A and B are shown apart, each in its own frame.
Chain A
Amino acid sequence: TVGAVALDGDGRLAAATSTGGFNNKPAGRVGDTPVIGAGTYARNGVCAVSCTGQGEVFMRRVAAYDVVARMSYAGQTLRQATDALVLDMLSSHRIGAGLVAVDAAGNVAMPFNTLGMARGWIAADGRLRVATHK
């Protein structure tokens, strides 16, 4: 699975995700990636989220939207909301999970509970960074 989140100079937020699913998956199986609110979500003024991991749990937990809800209704920061989702909630299901998210102020969060996640970001300083492991 691959994904991207962005904040532009006019303050607009967007998210996109794309996947092949998983090795040997049943024909017709669909995971969280194409389900808005599960694998992908964006709301101006709050944040944009793109998820990766075992999709069934992300769907049942409406994971991408959960980040937006935690920030909108519980006043959590991006970091608090994404860590709670990935490191607490999804980890309790004992599944591999990760996401990238950016909020309206340009803060970036990229938590994952596996040994690695291929990821990259360019923030306000304009510096390009790429990483694969912790």
Chain B
Amino acid sequence: MPSPVIAIHGGCGTLAADLQSAADWAETRAHLAAALRAAWRILAAGGAALDAVEAAVVVLEDSPHFNAGHGAALTEDAVHELDASIMDGATMAAGAVCTVRTIRNPVRAARAVMERSDCVLLAGAAADAFAQAHGLACVGNGYFTTERRVQALAALKARAARGTIALASEAERHG
């Protein structure tokens, strides 16, 4: 049998050095390492790949440095609408949620959809209600907000007001 492996990403883009302080960059790397360790503890103990990927994504959703969960981007209406999915290559089972607003860890809701519903994808308020009914941690939408995202939205809206949104950088657009 093969040796276990885990690989993760925290998003791609300009990752411009000036977008974050040195301390933030250090914490970003520390949270990547924490996500890997959370997964590795499961794999090294003979656990399932499915549990490992969920554990890694939960750590990254809880970090303010990544565009998922706490630290997520804001919509044009200055709220958070989150999406997540998970898939088990052994059974081809899969689950996903989209445009959810109150589920602290959307990847856990995706897994609940996979294991405790006949669906693959649940959307919006119904998905929020499904998560709550299945005992997942739910929070106010403001839990996901960080100052960095508030400033990013304000900057892009200011560009739109000035008519210079076409000049917005990749980082401004996507964060």
A92 within 8 A of B: no
* Residue A35, interface by CB 8 Å: yes
Residues of B within 8 A of A74 (CB): none
Distance in angstroms from A96 CB to nearest chain B CB is: 6
| CB < 8 Å neighbour of A34 from B40, B56, B84 | B84
Residues of A within 8 A of B153 (CB): 23-24
Q: In the complex, what residues of A have CB within 8 A of residue B120's CB?
A: 36
Look across to chain B and name the residue whose beta carbon is closest to the beta carbon of A51.
Answer: B9
Contact B6 A1 (CB under 8 A): no
Contact of B73 among A2, A25, A42, A43 (CB under 8 A): A25
> Is B12 in contact with A20, judged by CB distance below 8 angstroms?
no
Query: Are B12 and A96 closer than 8 Å at their CB atoms?
Result: yes
- The verdict on B131 contacting chain A, using a C-beta distance below 8 Å, is no
Give the distance in Å from the alpha carbon of A27 to the alpha carbon of B123 in the complex. Answer: 13
Whether A4 lies near B35 (C-beta < 8 A) is yes
- Residues 40-65 of A, flagged 1 when their CB comes within 8 A of B and 0 if not, give 11111110101011100000000000
Chain B interface secondary structure, helix, strand, loop or mixed? mixed
Residue in contact with A128 in the complex, picked from B37, B82, B98, CB distance below 8 Å: B37
Q: Are B2 and A114 in contact (CB under 8 A)?
A: no
- Say whether A27 contacts B81, CB under 8 Å: yes
B interface footprint on A104-117 (CB within 8 Å = 1, 0 otherwise): 11101010111111
Q: What chain A residues lie within 8 Å of B25 (beta carbons)?
A: 132
Contact in complex: A132, B28 (CB < 8 Å): yes
Contact A6 to B43, CB < 8 A, known contacts A120-B36, A121-B7, A122-B6 = yes
Residues in chain B near residue A112, CB distance under 8 A? 12
**A1-B68 in contact given A18-B83, A26-B75, A96-B12 (Cβ < 8 Å):** yes
> A121 — which chain B residues lie within 8 A by C-beta?
5-8, 36
Assess A9 versus B3: contact at CB under 8 Å? Given A20-B71, A34-B96, A96-B170: yes
Interface residues of B (CB under 8 A from A): 1-16, 25, 28-29, 32-33, 35-37, 39-40, 43-44, 46-50, 52-54, 56-57, 60-61, 66-69, 71-77, 79-90, 92, 94, 96-99, 105-107, 110, 120-121, 123, 144, 149, 152-153, 156-157, 160, 170, 172-175
10 A-B pairs with CB atoms under 8 Å apart are A2-B60, A14-B89, A15-B86, A26-B75, A27-B81, A34-B85, A40-B87, A48-B89, A119-B10, A119-B32
- Chain A residues packing against B (C-beta within 8 Å): 1-31, 33-36, 39-46, 48, 50, 52-54, 96-102, 104-106, 108, 110, 112-124, 126, 128, 130, 132-133
